[in-house]
Structure formats: structure tokens, C-alpha cells
Amino acid sequence: MWLTIPNLLTMVRIVMTPFILIELARGRYMAGGWMFGAAAFTDILDGGLARRFGTQSETGQYLDPVADKILLSCIYVGLALGGAVPVWIVVLIFARDIWILLLSGVALRFTGFRNLQPSLWGKASTFAQVMAAVAVMAARAYQSAVLERISTPLIWAVALLAAVSGLNYSLRGVAYFRRSLSRQSQPRR
């Protein structure tokens, strides 16, 4: 059954996303930041409830990471529209995500590989994106020079980790294809 409380919380996060984007695009970083905090809380809550009450579902396993990706991507779009982050960082984040989707699509279409798990570099990239977004929103909301100085290297960390994780996923894909091809070329007994 897909209609569970954790899945409803995930849907709430998806519904909140455009409102967060609008607040950030309008330069309302305090409101956008608090709304992002509420959305993040639904993410913590839905996973905790699903595990606690055994209501994990296949729908939730797919929907939760999609909701997270939509939320984080829209936050960066909103920050760029509000002039808080450079557009190139949004382009880099989207390029990495599209590349990973393409690699996943190729793997799903042409191989038997179905274990599409995030890498350590992918998790580090996502963590850096969250930390940088929070720092940028806080710096703008509180007009803090200290937070501004913190957010700048975090944005560069986002860029670096997006590139490294994209390369890492590419290398993992090539290694899998090589192993797959070598298994196919071996004679059967």
C-alpha cells in the first residue's frame, strides 16, 4: 500500500518545494530557510516513522530520494534567482544529476545491474549542497559577513564534490561494464 503516513509526509515535502523556491527567488531568505527546515524535518520524520512502525514501502523507497532531489535542486534554483548563488553552480549541480540519471538509465536498459546505490562521494556532494545552502540562506537572512565568508568556500566545495562524484559514478559505470563484458566473453562450461 502506498498511502502511508511516511509517504504523505514525503508528499508534503514535495508540495512545499515550490513555495520555498518562490521565497528564495524573492530574496526572502529567512522565510525560505525556515520552510526548508520544516521540509527537512518531514524528511527525518518520514524515515523514522517508516522504520519505527514497519510502514516502509516500495513507493516510499523511490519517492523519498526523488522528493529530496527535487527539494535541493529547487533550493539552488531559488537561490540563483534571488542572486544568492552564481548560476554556474546550479548548472553544475543539474549537469551532474542529469549525467547520473543518464548513466543509471543506460545501466537499467542495457545491463542486469539494479543496485543503484549512492556512493560516498555522492553522499558527500549532497551533504555539501545542504550545508552550503543553509549557510547562504543564513548569511543573507541575517546579513552576516561571517556567514558569508563561510558560505563562499562551501559553494566551492559543492562544485568540487559535484565534479568528483560525477567522475566517480562514471568510473564505477565503466568498471561495471568492463566486468559485465568480460563475463560475457568467457566461455560457458
Three-state helix/strand/coil letters over 135-147: HHHHHHHHCCHHH
Own/partner contacts of 185-188, CB < 8 Å, gap of 24 or more, are none
In the chain, the percentage of residues whose pLDDT exceeds 90 is: 65
Per-residue cell: 123: 553522499
Q: CA-CA distance, 130 to 50, in Å (whole number)? A: 23
DSSP letter assigned to residue 28: -
Residue span of the structural domain in which 31 resides: 1-84
**pLDDT score for 178:** 81
CB 66 within 8 A of CB 10: no
Where does a domain end: 49, 84, 119? 84
Where does a domain end: 69, 84, 99? 84
Residue 84 scores a pLDDT above 90:
yes
Dihedral, CA of residue 145, residue 149, residue 155 and residue 157, to nearest 10: -160
Where does a domain end: 54, 84, 114? 84
Mean of the pLDDT values across residues 146-174?
A: 95
Mean of the pLDDT values across residues 32-61?
A: 90
Residues written for the chain: 189
Amino acid at the residue 57: S
Q: Are residues 112 and 39 in the same domain?
A: no
| Number of folded domains that form the chain | 2
Average of per-residue pLDDT values in the chain: 91
Per-residue cell: 130: 545542504
Amino acid at the residue 141: A
Q: Are residues 56 and 144 in the same domain?
A: no
**pLDDT score for 54:** 83
Q: Are residues 56 and 92 in the same domain?
A: no
CB 141 within 8 A of CB 30: yes
**pLDDT score for 137:** 98
Tell me the angle at which helices 120-142 and 58-81 cross, rounded to the nearest 10 degrees.
40
Angle at 133 between CA 131 and CA 139, to 5 degrees: 100
Q: Are residues 64 and 23 in the same domain?
A: yes
Q: Are residues 16 and 95 in the same domain?
A: no
Per-residue cell: 89: 553552480
Q: Are residues 65 and 100 in the same domain?
A: no
Residue 1 scores a pLDDT above 70:
no
Q: Are residues 106 and 179 in the same domain?
A: yes
Q: Are residues 97 and 186 in the same domain?
A: yes
Residue 165 scores a pLDDT above 70:
yes
